[in-house]
A = this chain, B = another copy of it.
Amino acid sequence: MPDETAYAPTDRTIPTRSRERAAYDRALVHAILDEAYVCHLGFVRDGRPVVLPTLFARVGEHLYLHGSTGSRPLQMAGRADDGLPVCVTVTHVDGLVLARSAFHHSVNYRSVVVHGTAHQVTDRDEKRAALNALVDHVVPGRAADSRPGNAKELAATAVMRMNLVEVSAKLRTGGPNDDPDDLSLPCWAGVLPLRKGYEEPVGADDLHAAIAVPDYLTVL
């Protein structure tokens, strides 16, 4: 029976270095995934690696990725009986870490790496739920406030699913870790926190003037 609070480390999810930065806690992994707008999807084509940015959503212990039915990885996931081996990585850069020494410069980050196999979703209800999740992943509450996909749109969209099984997070927080001998150097040291969130919403050119910015956009 799987551990309810953490993913089991595997050979691929135990880093070769900075092991103290690795984490397997499910709640932490979910939070990192849910905060990201895009993931980086890796797959192998003709023996060589390909990495593409793409939208995704998490539903429980599944990740859903979508694209046009003509997109390369989705076609490959649909063709292969055994699914498409993929690696999905999500990274937040939270701050730039400036140390006194060039060597100890770093970034504060939170990342999740998911190894697995992607399969095309063929069940109509699961596909519809996944597409709603993709919209709600970008802005929670938005799916209910937009026109749902019709039959033609659903047919033009392919969705693939992978299970969260072989998963790890990696993170760095805090200030610079300078060598004791460097602490007396006269240069500034510290962290530049990156800005998060978004600016004021910009209405579409053809937006009717009577339509106000909805609450679910102003609370973020």
**Chain A residues in contact with chain B, CB under 8 A?**
12, 16-18, 37-38, 40-45, 47-53, 55, 67-68, 70-72, 85-89, 91, 93, 95-96, 98-103, 105, 107, 109, 111, 113, 115, 131-132, 134-135, 138-139, 142-143, 145-150, 153, 157, 175-176, 178, 182-183, 185-207, 211-214, 217
Contact = CB atoms under 8 A, between A and B. Distances in A.
A147 B185 contact: yes
Given A53-B89, A153-B101, A187 B211 contact: yes
A190 B207 contact: yes
Given A16-B71, A68-B17, A138 B47 contact: no
A214 B188 CA distance: 7
Given A53-B91, A188-B214, A190-B203, 15 more contacts: A12-B45, A38-B91, A42-B87, A49-B50, A50-B115, A52-B113, A102-B135, A105-B134, A176-B204, A188-B207, A189-B203, A190-B204, A191-B204, A192-B217, A195-B198
Oligomeric state, in copies: 2
Nearest to A48: B85
B38 A49 contact: no
Contacts of A100: 146-147
Contact of A40 (B51, B138, B189): B51
Nearest to A111: B53
Contact of A191 (B197, B202, B206): B202
Contact of A193 (B146, B148, B199, B206): B199
Given A102-B146, A214-B188, A70 B16 contact: yes
A201 B192 contact: yes
A107 B52 contact: no
